[in-house]
Amino acid sequence: MDKQISDKRKYRSLTKRTTRATVIGCIILGLVAEIIGLGLYAVAITGQYVRHASDLSRYAAMSARHAVDTVGFADELMTVYRGLDETELALNGTEEYRSLFAGFSERSEYVTLTHLLDTFIQTDDVDDVYIAMYDRDTCAMVYIVDPNPDNEERLYPGEWESVTEEGMIKFLDWNGEGMLYDIDRTLKYGWLCTAGTPIKDSQGRVCAFALVDVAPGNIGETLALFALQTGIGVVIVTALIAVFQIRHMRKTVVMPINAIADTAAQYVLDKQSGADVTGHFGSLDIHTGDEVENLADIMSDMEHDLAEYETRITKITAEKERIGAELRMATAIQQGMLPHIFPPFPDRKEFDLYASMSPAREVGGDFYDFFFIDDDHLGLVMADVSGNGVPAALFMMVSKVIVQSCAMLGKSAGETLTKTNEAICSNNQSEMFVTVWLGILEISTGKLTAANAGHEFPAIERANGRFEHLEDEHGFVIGSIPGMKYNEYEIVLSPGDKLFLYTDGVTEATNTEEELFGEENMLEALNTEPDASPEKILENVRSAVNRFVKDAEQFDDLTMMCLEYKGRKGSSLYGNADEGA
């Protein structure tokens, strides 16, 4: 086990992660610094070459104007060029094309300018210095003087090269501000930086340009040398930073955290062994002055708080177990108070009766009851106390006893509820209330006298029919207003009729979408098997409620009772006189 823990710690070593992260971070920092440095240096060196080329083009233009009549020479050559048609221009680079400009390369101006420009090339670090003119109509650069000593590469007077319109306009429409240059990729030379200075006549008209070419190869060599020199420096500095950072992280982070981890492991071992040892984290000597030291202090406080919490939780657990035992006993007492043996009166064949109650908590506030007032009168009660839990259960027990006691006095249903309301209102300091439906069935005739104190409408099914609501007259709830009088009504049950009583926990059962089960769903469940026994009918309703709410929590008590009236053989309901049967 210890080896597994050791291997796991080694695998998850913070030292390795810190070292790896630091090294990678320093390498990335070094690369970023190198890239930024190269970028800035490239911009600077490119600007330097452009300035040098621009200055050299100005010197070349000035020298050309003073050495010979460069303007006149250029104008004559461009006049010939502009007089050529497309067929002749297509001969560019051939001896036939050069013959169209015969004599220009023999003239003294050309010889002098060639020698002058060659001198600039030999004394300055540039690739080419030449004189040319841009032609808007053909989008071409026409060479006037090219001092290239290589006859294969030299461009003779009048020969031309295609240029981009953007680059040409940049030179022809230059406003004289800043440096005149263009960097572009050409088919013949690749990337090329061309700086120029216009050669103008006395009226300020541009007749030609003194142009200087600088190839990026020169810049690349300089950048490569710079990258090598700075790269070595960056590597050394990065390595020093990495070593310092790793040592600092080990001292201020890794070692203190390992100390906290070891102390936590010892704390767990002591707890598992049952050793009464305290002050594990208080003995740590960590003074980093940051979050790690704060963590050590928090762990020390946590150990102290846990010790106190364990003492409290022990007491709370014992108290919870005591309360749980009392609630279980209360549940048993409450269930014992409700009739729970079915069939409740096996020797009475005149009716069939079944009831159930499912509390939302350990104990509930709903209750049902049925009892014989005398041999021919059966009392039926369905009630719902406000709220739920222990208070509702206590109020339910009191209400049940009072209702039954008043009913056993032989009072009618309305008088029974009136007396019950007076008894509860006389000492209702909790200000709770209860809804009650009370019915007294005369078994011999099927006459049912009932009163309703704010309870749900019952549902009734006539023989060979379907369940439907019986909208009776409602009185106010019991326990709220003293002196209330409750009216009663009568219905006559025929053999085969069924009466269904329930609390609002059935119709107000709620699913996860906050939808209510409702009265329509309840009637549909009742009519699934209307000819079934009362027990089966309650089972069908409960199954329908469960399918509707699914995994939603039950928020209210769910109580139901169903009575099937069968009548008594020999009574007038049967139309015979077999009384003694």
* 24-50 pLDDT tens trace: 887 888 788 778 877 787 777 777 878
Domain(s) of CATH 3.60.40.10: residues in the chain:
338-565
Mean pLDDT confidence for 151-161: 86
Q: Using pLDDT thresholds of 50, 70 and 90, give the confidence band for residue 178.
A: confident
Mean pLDDT confidence for 242-249: 78
Mean pLDDT confidence for 289-295: 76
pLDDT at 574 over 60: no
Those residues whose C-beta lies under 8 Å from the C-beta of residue 520, and which sit 6 or more positions away, are none
Predicted pLDDT of residue 352:
95
Length of the chain: 581
**Cβ–Cβ < 8 Å for 199, 61:** yes
Which of 212-216, 261-265, 455-459 ranks highest by mean pLDDT? 455-459
Burial (CB < 10 A; 0-12, 13-18, 19+), residue 150, is exposed
How far, in Å, CA of 359 to CA of 556, rounded? 7
Q: Using pLDDT thresholds of 50, 70 and 90, give the confidence band for residue 123.
A: confident
Mapped onto helix, strand or coil, the DSSP state of residue 158 is coil
How far, in Å, CA of 28 to CA of 35, rounded? 10
Predicted pLDDT of residue 3:
54
Q: Using pLDDT thresholds of 50, 70 and 90, give the confidence band for residue 105.
A: confident
Q: Using pLDDT thresholds of 50, 70 and 90, give the confidence band for residue 580.
A: very low
Mapped onto helix, strand or coil, the DSSP state of residue 91 is coil
Predicted pLDDT of residue 572:
41
pLDDT at 570 over 50: no
Mean pLDDT confidence for 503-514: 91
Those residues whose C-beta lies under 8 Å from the C-beta of residue 556, and which sit 6 or more positions away, are 360, 388, 503, 504, 505, 508, 509
How far, in Å, CA of 9 to CA of 11, rounded? 5
Q: Quick one: how many helices (H) and strands (E) in the chain? A: 15, 17
Mean pLDDT confidence for 112-132: 86
pLDDT at 439 over 50: yes
pLDDT at 576 over 50: no
Q: Please give the residue that has the higher pLDDT: either 501 or 27.
A: 501
Q: Considering the domain delimited by 338-565, tell me its CATH architecture.
A: 4-Layer Sandwich (3.60)
Mean pLDDT confidence for 413-418: 94
Mean pLDDT confidence for 48-53: 84
**Cβ–Cβ < 8 Å for 428, 391:** no
Q: 395: how many CB neighbours lie within 10 A of its CB?
A: 22
Model confidence pLDDT, tens digit, residues 377-415: 999 999 999 877 778 888 888 899 999 999 998 889 999
How far, in Å, CA of 543 to CA of 521, rounded? 12
pLDDT at 330 over 70: no
Predicted pLDDT of residue 375:
93
The fold of the 14-221 domain, in CATH, is: Beta-Lactamase (3.30.450)
Predicted pLDDT of residue 510:
92
How far, in Å, CA of 63 to CA of 503, rounded? 114
Model confidence pLDDT, tens digit, residues 194-232: 899 999 998 989 999 999 988 766 566 666 777 777 778
pLDDT at 95 over 50: yes
Domain(s) of CATH 3.30.450.20: residues in the chain:
14-221
DSSP 253: I
| Amino acid making up residue 299 | M
How far, in Å, CA of 385 to CA of 436, rounded? 9
Model confidence pLDDT, tens digit, residues 517-539: 999 999 999 999 988 999 999 99
The pairing of beta strand 351-358 with beta strand 489-492: unpaired
Give the CA count within 13 Å in the CB-facing half-sphere of 158: 26
**Cβ–Cβ < 8 Å for 556, 385:** no
The pairing of beta strand 558-565 with beta strand 128-135: unpaired
Nearest-CA neighbor of 434 among 390, 385, 401? 385
Average pLDDT of the chain to the nearest whole number: 84
Q: Using pLDDT thresholds of 50, 70 and 90, give the confidence band for residue 360.
A: confident
Cross-strand partners of 459: 469, 500
Predicted pLDDT of residue 542:
95
R_g of the chain computed on alpha carbons: 54
